Amino acid sequence: MVFEEHKVELGSRRVIVQGANRSPKQVADIRRRSHVLDHGAEIFRLHGMTKVDTEKVVAEVRAEGDKQVAQIQASQLVEVAKIEKEIADLTASRTRELGRADAKVVQLATEADADR
């Protein structure tokens, strides 16, 4: 074992590992551990991005769902309004016809009385 300086990359950082008694095996172990730490940091970063991305997707899906619900409700209101208009038109028509029928009854009754 000799005094050596070993350059080890820890993610985006370069670290100089010094030691009078560092064997190549120890340096390899340090590199392996730094590699594991880098992967752990990357996984943590990706997990964080995934969580943010997931929240974004959830928000987009909810917004799209809310939009569809609003469109369906608006469509239902339009259909209800059309049906209510049709009912009102039919009611008005019925009232007109009943009025004409009552007028005809009165007219026929008056004519019958006049003929007697």
The model's pLDDT over 65-108, given as tens digits with 9 standing for 90+, comes to 999 999 999 999 999 999 999 999 999 999 999 999 999 999 99
Rounded-to-integer distance, Cα 68 and Cα 90, Å = 33
Within 8 A by CB and 6+ apart from 49, the residues are: none
The model's pLDDT over 3-45, given as tens digits with 9 standing for 90+, comes to 444 454 445 555 555 554 566 676 667 666 666 666 666 666 6
| pTM check: above 0.75 | no
Rounded-to-integer distance, Cα 86 and Cα 49, Å = 55
Task: Indicate the average pLDDT of the chain.
Answer: 77
By CB neighbour count within 10 A (0-12 exposed, 13-18 middle, 19+ buried), where does 46 fall?
exposed
* 114 DSSP β-pair partners: none
Structure-token match 């208009």, residue found: 85
